Structure 1
Amino acid sequence: MSWKKALRIPSGLRVATVTLMLAMLSTPVAEGRDSPEDFVFQFKGLCYFTNGTERVRLVTRYIYNREEFLRFDSAVGEYRAVTPQGRSDAEHLNSQKDVLERTRAELDTVCMHNYEVAYRGILQRRVEPTVTISPSRTEALNHHNLLVCSVTDFYPGQIKVRWFRNNQEETVGVVSTPLIRNGDWTFQILVMLEMTPQRGDVYTCHVEHPSLQSPITVEWRAQSESAQSKMLSGIGGFVLGLIFFGLGLIIRQRSQKGLLH
């Protein structure tokens, strides 16, 4: 996925991270213990949004060997120690006014910027679903069956799928799979209806999705075995006629070429 503007990495927070790493690495003994040969230093920058951008909060966390020792919260406006190990770091960073001001500014320069980029690239992305209906087994009137409404390749994941029988919504016997991620920024879902079709019944899968200006409706009509056989015979005869027609054209063209030679 390509966006016109890239997401930003907090520059002021990188300064703070480097400062803390240098301070910790330059200290051979921490709280009376030898520094371990192997260590893990983690930095997490988190942006929280409530009701869009009505309320925005920036939280940065500094973690050493799985233990958070320092945190910046935009609601507080300064660095605070989480453990005694972080007290000197909090005092040092809070005394660096340029670093502190840059960190505070990340609420707008990073969180708000990235929200706008993500809103255009992700939150506004729309892909219309494909909807098909199929019975679980060969149709037979007055016999229990299962209709499957397959809704595939849509984004975002919010979707509403309903079943109707002769324009009346069916709520009993409806079973749905969880939302399935396809791995390519699209989703799919199967919504099944247990039913016993009667002659003339019309079943409709009704799909509502943010990408659609109006709902998609796909119908499935109950047919007797004789009607279904007649329809299949008609389709088969039509296809067979096309095949013979094509063969006739080919033979005619070849015979004309032979006469010319």
Structure 2
Amino acid sequence: ATLEPVFLALSQFFGCRTQRIDVLFGYIVGHCQFTSSDDLVYLAQVYFNKKLMGEYNSTVGKYTGYTEKASEIADGLNKNPKMLKQEKKNYEESIINSTYDKSVEPSVSLSSFKAVDSKHPSTLICSAYKFFPKQIRVTWLRNGKEVTSDVTSTEEMPNGGWLYQIHTVLEYTPRLGETITCKVEHASLMEPLLYEWEPMPESQRNKIAVGTAGLLLGLVIFVGGLIYYKKNSSGRTLVPTG
């Protein structure tokens, strides 16, 4: 993290000291504290004569002074957008340095669904999960050529533990013999990942359709028989035999 500008500003806290002959020294510390397995707090703290004079805390997002004079200085720093922006950058860099020392490869899935109010009969979604760093490129290929129309993508979104996820949707009209591929490019990969969409074969779809129809027919027969039995049973009079 680039701490020099921040430390120079925080060193103003040293102006809070009084003229005493027993003064020892002042110093500034920038460090992180993990509050859970996937969260941390970034602190930039100013000490003088072993006493904490003030600090920047990423949880509250501002400077805090612990003496009257230090509080005045902290208020001034909090009104400086450049300083707060730098501290936020330090926090983000601390997360990266404290959590991952190398990139994390994305987990990719490819699926289809029927979109409402779409002019195309088919919709595919390619999702990349749990990757790091944030920068990633996900594109669609049709017969090896990039598709730019009828494509919608989300921004990179948090996926927990400072990992990210992204989703891209392709609306298209299937053509006989064509190949649809999702291409993923990321720093963790030696070469792009290619995921080819393999629609369910016609024979398998027919088997599922026949099986579903048979199941429904059996259910109809069962319900019809049950209704018939109930009607006949309600019209009978039971006569004691003994």
Task: Provide the TM-score with structure 2 as the length reference.
Answer: 0.48
Task: Provide the TM-score with structure 1 as the length reference.
Answer: 0.45
